Amino acid sequence: MAKDKEKKTKDTLKNPKGTRDWSDQDSSLLNDIFHRIRTVLSRYATQLDTPVFELADVLKGKYGEDSKLIYDLADQGGEMLSLRYDLTVPFARWLAMHPEVREYKRFAIGKVYRRDQPAIAKGRMREFYQCDVDFAGSGSSTMWDSKIVAIVVEVFEALEWQGHYTIKLNHRKILDGIFEVCGVPEDKIRAISSAVDKLDKSPWEKVRTEMVETKGLDEAVADKIRTYVVQRGEKWEGSKQLLDTLKKDEALQANAKAKQGIDEMDVILRILEVLGAHRDISFDLCLARGLDYYTGIIYEVVTEGSAPATVNGGDAQQVQREGKSKKAKKDLKEDDDRSDDPSVGVGSVAAGGRYDNLVERFLPGSDMQCVGVSFGVDRIFSITKARIAQGQKFTYVSSTATDVYIMAFGGKDFSGMSAERLLIEQMLARAGLKVEYSAKERPKPQLQFKNSEKYGAKYAVILGEDEQARGEVRVKQLGLPDGHPEKEGVLVKMENLVSEVTVRIKGLAVTEQVKGLDVIE
Amino acid sequence: MAKDKEKKTKDTLKNPKGTRDWSDQDSSLLNDIFHRIRTVLSRYATQLDTPVFELADVLKGKYGEDSKLIYDLADQGGEMLSLRYDLTVPFARWLAMHPEVREYKRFAIGKVYRRDQPAIAKGRMREFYQCDVDFAGSGSSTMWDSKIVAIVVEVFEALEWQGHYTIKLNHRKILDGIFEVCGVPEDKIRAISSAVDKLDKSPWEKVRTEMVETKGLDEAVADKIRTYVVQRGEKWEGSKQLLDTLKKDEALQANAKAKQGIDEMDVILRILEVLGAHRDISFDLCLARGLDYYTGIIYEVVTEGSAPATVNGGDAQQVQREGKSKKAKKDLKEDDDRSDDPSVGVGSVAAGGRYDNLVERFLPGSDMQCVGVSFGVDRIFSITKARIAQGQKFTYVSSTATDVYIMAFGGKDFSGMSAERLLIEQMLARAGLKVEYSAKERPKPQLQFKNSEKYGAKYAVILGEDEQARGEVRVKQLGLPDGHPEKEGVLVKMENLVSEVTVRIKGLAVTEQVKGLDVIE
């Protein structure tokens, strides 16, 4: 009986499979990241927050094979509901509900739900955060295509990832044009496109086998495709060179789709250069993206730890990258990286593109065209956390360290000096300091010193009855060596406490920084 | 067939019943409110974010009759899951999962789900935001009881509600002591307590009838209860007087529970006075709170528009309050006020108390004691929005007005000056200005002027080919009268654009403020 109860308690005491709680330092870092992303996105879009569930019909038929991963709510009488699978379809539903809105730039931050086999070690979660920005309207496609890419650059610069990421770019019209030029039959184009998308994980031979044996493509056609899709423009110079090569390709120039795609890509790259957002892009013809609904530009952001195997990359490079990635994953353990999620790509930290027909599926006749990007926030979190563990500094990461521990010695008054400790906490916390104290009414001095160590507090503020009578408290830097003139702390008038403590804490911070510099030199 | 399709589209094109989308100004105001609340709570607690669903067993048996309002997920194989009903039970589950944590101060912001009959006009939603702060540990109860109340004061001050709210305070031990002293049988205490809780909506006679006829209480006992529960301490002076009255009540002082409650309330009020958080509290003996699990202090925050009928209040006052409330509700229409939610109380904007036994229900033997408060953010939003509509100013509310509309006249270059417009947008948006522009590649001048009016932009930045060749743009204040010397705008060098425009926008803001003051005088 007692055992049964214990077992039941143990069964109940867990999160649902594939979910996590965010607490303490993880919660703090996640919020710092959200704050940076939100700051950038709110410059260019307004926030839209939709319910966590939608009518089941809204999601139905939007995700192809992945529809089986949708969480349904129980039929408790009334509407049939499902948890949202992404933030894109709810946005399209909202646009269709507001046909009077002719143009809309929105961002959204929220959790999405996928009833996939979770792989927590690999970071594939059933509940995870997405952060999207999407522009909808019927204006110039190249203007907004460029703008979304520029926003991606601005976000990763705000996250201080400069030099650590690459935005892979491609264009569906160029890809489709290439397939037509190579002689892929119309009805095989999407299937062959899916196969090409695997080139970042699989060697050409394997992809070729899929094309020829599984998908019934002519061998000569497959080999012709290879001559195109192995072309990748490394960084800006390489991207421009690749574009020039395509501009000179007479076969492509004679194909209407390819020509349109190349012309658009030309304008997009030139706009990105004007915006200073061109340095970390790589025009990559083997990027195809999983989802069917893209109609124009597509992109995917990768970083160290994303571990993309490359169609061109040598084996050594590939092994080295995979080795790195394995280590990073081991360090992260329970964090999310969604690396096996086919809709996001292997380890990409952001991905998206242009999708011009989604709103029309809700509102026949609508001409709303969309382009957007989704940031994989859990993945960005995990990589940033791993880099911090490796010693990298990020200016926006908040400290969770305790600045001050408040102690009371004595306390025969009505509250054991609880009131005074709370008052001092309130004064210091409002000044932006992290403060702790014992929640006991009359805590023993020894316990308070032990706790101040546990919290790693830099200073103690000590209340005593005699000092209180004179309107004073003692401010004591913790961890000073014996014999230091301020070892026993200094007496401070209550009215000067906030300024005295903040000056000391800030002074201490400067000293530590200088010390740190000494060590580096 | 076409009709069928249309009907289907219409059925699908809606939010689930009892939910809403947050967009535009509403989304902006909601975020401003969250930002203020989060700033205060993060001074004293760390954020904990739990999944939106829990194992069904975690929620089972925690909400009494309201358990029928829980949303269950469909059985798709695997665990049985339910959407969270509040943020308190997930916190208790987390504490029980982490028995090594002996003390924890957490806040949480998230949506919760109640499958209630929605009343959108009244603001009872099925999905709504809660924002909670709870302290768990086994320290001094009066210290943390006071601290949570002080946090409530700090939040409403941060929201600039000074003078517009009252924190009603009571103590379960005092209430239970009163019931014992009056002769309520042990097994009727919770039922009679529930009846007393209705005194803010119902007249005494109705509550008395419920006690005597429905709940079988002796008439003399009911009448004796009345002598206590009509006592309310209006504001600080009244609260102190009521406490003094109870201290002198020999019957209560002879009852162990009542005496303990009165002693605790004495310390709590004295601590609140030291913290300067005493001015807007009202010690109110008829506040009982719906939930069974409270064990000590209880509180509820009401405001104008909360429309509480009072046991003492005259009819005129009551009618006046209801009239006000009806008007406010009509203004708000679709907003949430949860006014009929019995667990929150009629129109309270925050509520909570001490609950010492909840963690033990997950982890037998645990001595974790908790006290906390839940802010009804949707309700706070609705009331703030109504006050803004009535002309009240809040310093923290962000403007969603457009500062600058960027125009291009001409644009024979590769992008129709798209690149330059995006560059100027990027410069001005990074400087904190709200910027709009046409998304068309070569928009007609007339359309651009029309749109700048639609957005209510204060300034236009105009790109022209001649000016561009000289590295200049035109900055034009919109809406100037004919004949004004700057009617046609001024030419500004690109490198000075950001400073010129921000100075002008800030200058304009000052001018408008001064004009506003003139009107008032």
pLDDT tens digits for A426-478?
999 999 999 999 998 889 999 999 999 999 999 999 999 999 999 999 999 99
Q: Evaluate if residue B517 carries a pLDDT over 70.
A: no
**For an interface test with A, which of B6, B8, B15 has the most A Cβ atoms less than 10 Å from its Cβ?**
B15
Question: Cα(A411)–Cα(A442) distance, rounded to whole angstroms?
Answer: 7
Question: Cα(B453)–Cα(B405) distance, rounded to whole angstroms?
Answer: 9
Tell me which residue in A48, A364, A422 faces B275 most closely, judged by beta carbons.
Answer: A422
**For an interface test with B, which of A6, A8, A21 has the most B Cβ atoms less than 10 Å from its Cβ?**
A21
User: Residues B33, B380: contact at Cβ < 8 Å?
Assistant: yes
Tell me which residue in A8, A143, A423 faces B422 most closely, judged by beta carbons.
Answer: A143
Instruction: Give CA separation, A71 vs A122, B47, B212, B423, in Å.
Output: 21, 27, 49, 43
| Co-location of B126 and B60 in the same domain | yes
User: Residues B335, B123: contact at Cβ < 8 Å?
Assistant: yes
User: Residues A113, A17: contact at Cβ < 8 Å?
Assistant: no
Q: Which of B468, B460, B462, B461 is nearest to B413 (CA)?
A: B468
Name which of A76-80, A315-319, A448-452, B415-419 the model is least confident about.
A315-319
Q: What is the pLDDT of residues B159-215, one digit of tens each?
A: 999 999 999 999 999 999 999 999 999 999 989 998 998 888 889 999 999 999 999
| Co-location of B102 and B200 in the same domain | yes
Residue of B nearest to A149 (CA): B422
Three-state secondary structure call for residue A11: helix
The average pLDDT across B459-473 equals 94
Three-state secondary structure call for residue A17: coil
Q: Which of A105, A336, A149, A306 is nearest to A239 (CA)?
A: A149
The answer to whether the complex's ipTM is over 0.95 is no
What's residue A461's pLDDT? 97
What's residue B337's pLDDT? 37
pLDDT grade for A4, boundaries at 50, 70 and 90:
low
Q: Evaluate if residue A3 carries a pLDDT over 80.
A: no
| Co-location of A417 and A276 in the same domain | no
In a domain, B521, yes or no: no
Question: Cα(B38)–Cα(B30) distance, rounded to whole angstroms?
Answer: 12
Q: In what order do the strands lie in the sheet containing A435-437?
A: A435-437, A404-409, A459-464, A472-477, A490-493
Q: What is the pLDDT of residues B342-395, one digit of tens each?
A: 333 347 899 999 999 889 999 999 999 999 999 999 999 999 999 999 999 999
Q: Which residues contact B263 (CB under 8 A, 6 or more apart)?
A: none
Chosen domain end from A358, A390, A422: A390
Tell me which residue in A76, A111, A414 faces B72 most closely, judged by beta carbons.
Answer: A76
Instruction: For residue B80, give its domain range.
Output: 21-312+344-390
Cβ contact, residue pair A441, B142, below 8 Å? yes
Q: Which residues contact A480 (CB under 8 A, 6 or more apart)?
A: A486, A487
Q: Which of A51, A276, A2 is nearest to B430 (CA)?
A: A276
Tell me which residue in A79, A363, A423 faces B275 most closely, judged by beta carbons.
Answer: A423
Q: Which of A148, A125, A92 is nearest to A21 (CA)?
A: A125
In a domain, A357, yes or no: yes
State the SS3 of B256-293. HHHHHHHHHHHHHHHHHHHCCCCCCEEEECCCCCCCCC
Q: Evaluate if residue A318 carries a pLDDT over 90.
A: no
Residues of A forming the annotated binding site for L-histidine? 86-88, 114, 130, 134, 289, 293-294
| Co-location of B152 and B99 in the same domain | yes
DSSP A123-160: TB-SEEEEEEEEEEESS-HHHHHHHHHHHHHHHHHHTT
| Co-location of B40 and B169 in the same domain | yes
Residue of B nearest to A126 (CA): B51
Q: What is the pTM of this model?
A: 0.88
Q: Evaluate if residue A324 carries a pLDDT over 80.
A: no
B129 residue type, one letter:
Y
| Co-location of A366 and A413 in the same domain | no
Question: Could you give the number of structural domains in chain B?
Answer: 2
Share of chain B above pLDDT 70, in %: 86
Q: How many CA atoms lie within 13 A of A363 on its CB side?
A: 20
Q: Evaluate if residue A412 carries a pLDDT over 90.
A: no
Tell me which residue in B97, B106, B275 faces A426 most closely, judged by beta carbons.
Answer: B275
What's residue B224's pLDDT? 96
State the SS3 of B162-230. CCCEEEEEEEHHHHHHHHHHHCCCHHHHHHHHHHHHHHHCCCHHHHHHHHHHHCCCCHHHHHHHHHHHC
In a domain, B399, yes or no: no
Share of chain A above pLDDT 90, in %: 71
**For an interface test with B, which of A73, A130, A494 has the most B Cβ atoms less than 10 Å from its Cβ?**
A73
Which residues on chain B are in Cβ contact (under 8 Å) with A97?
13-14
pLDDT grade for B123, boundaries at 50, 70 and 90:
low
Residue of B nearest to A425 (CA): B44
Q: What is the pLDDT of residues A329-353, one digit of tens each?
A: 333 333 333 333 333 334 789 999 9
Reading the block at residue A379, the tokens are 């993945």
Three-state secondary structure call for residue A223: helix
Nearest CA of chain B to the CA of A233: how many Å?
22
Domain containing residue A386: CATH number: 3.30.930.10
pLDDT grade for B1, boundaries at 50, 70 and 90:
very low
**For an interface test with A, which of B4, B22, B33, B43 has the most A Cβ atoms less than 10 Å from its Cβ?**
B43
> pLDDT higher for A171 or B517?
A171
Read off φ and ψ for residue A363, nearest 5 degrees: -135, 85
Nearest CA of chain B to the CA of A182: how many Å?
30
Instruction: Give CA separation, B41 vs B36, B151, B273, in Å.
Output: 9, 7, 20
Cβ contact, residue pair A72, B71, below 8 Å? no
B319 residue type, one letter:
V
In a domain, A14, yes or no: no
In a domain, A463, yes or no: yes
Read off φ and ψ for residue A375, nearest 5 degrees: -90, 130
Which residues on chain B are in Cβ contact (under 8 Å) with A367?
none
pLDDT grade for B260, boundaries at 50, 70 and 90:
very high
Q: What is the pLDDT of residues A49-80, one digit of tens each?
A: 999 999 999 998 888 778 899 999 999 999 99
Measured in whole angstroms, the distance separating CA A205 from the mean position of its chain's CA atoms is 33
What's residue A313's pLDDT? 32
Measured in whole angstroms, the distance separating CA A489 from the mean position of its chain's CA atoms is 45
Cβ contact, residue pair B422, A111, below 8 Å? no
Q: Give one word for A305, left, alpha or beta, with left for phi > 0 and alpha for psi -120 to 50.
A: left
Length of chain A: 521
In a domain, B330, yes or no: no
Question: Cα(B62)–Cα(B293) distance, rounded to whole angstroms?
Answer: 9
**Which of the given ranges, A188-197, B311-320, B429-438, B511-520, has the highest pLDDT on average?**
B429-438
Q: Which of B157, B129, B130, B133 is nearest to B280 (CA)?
A: B157
Length of chain B: 521
| Co-location of A440 and A384 in the same domain | no
In a domain, B175, yes or no: yes
User: Residues A51, B15: contact at Cβ < 8 Å?
Assistant: yes
Q: Which residues contact A41 (CB under 8 A, 6 or more apart)?
A: A107, A131, A133, A151, A155
Chosen domain end from A355, A390, A425: A390
In a domain, A338, yes or no: no
Chosen domain end from B331, B360, B390: B390
User: Residues A262, A243: contact at Cβ < 8 Å?
Assistant: yes
| Co-location of B422 and B384 in the same domain | no
| Co-location of B99 and B179 in the same domain | yes
Residue of B nearest to A75 (CA): B74
User: Residues A216, A202: contact at Cβ < 8 Å?
Assistant: no
What's residue B340's pLDDT? 37
Question: Cα(B132)–Cα(B45) distance, rounded to whole angstroms?
Answer: 10
Cβ contact, residue pair B15, A50, below 8 Å? yes
User: Residues B459, B405: contact at Cβ < 8 Å?
Assistant: yes
| Co-location of A54 and A101 in the same domain | yes
What's residue A510's pLDDT? 57
Question: Cα(A320)–Cα(A342) distance, rounded to whole angstroms?
Answer: 23
| Co-location of B155 and B273 in the same domain | yes
The average pLDDT across A374-403 equals 93
Tell me which residue in B55, B414, B422 faces A16 most closely, judged by beta carbons.
Answer: B55
| Co-location of B464 and B384 in the same domain | no
Three-state secondary structure call for residue B427: helix
Domain containing residue A473: CATH number: 3.40.50.800
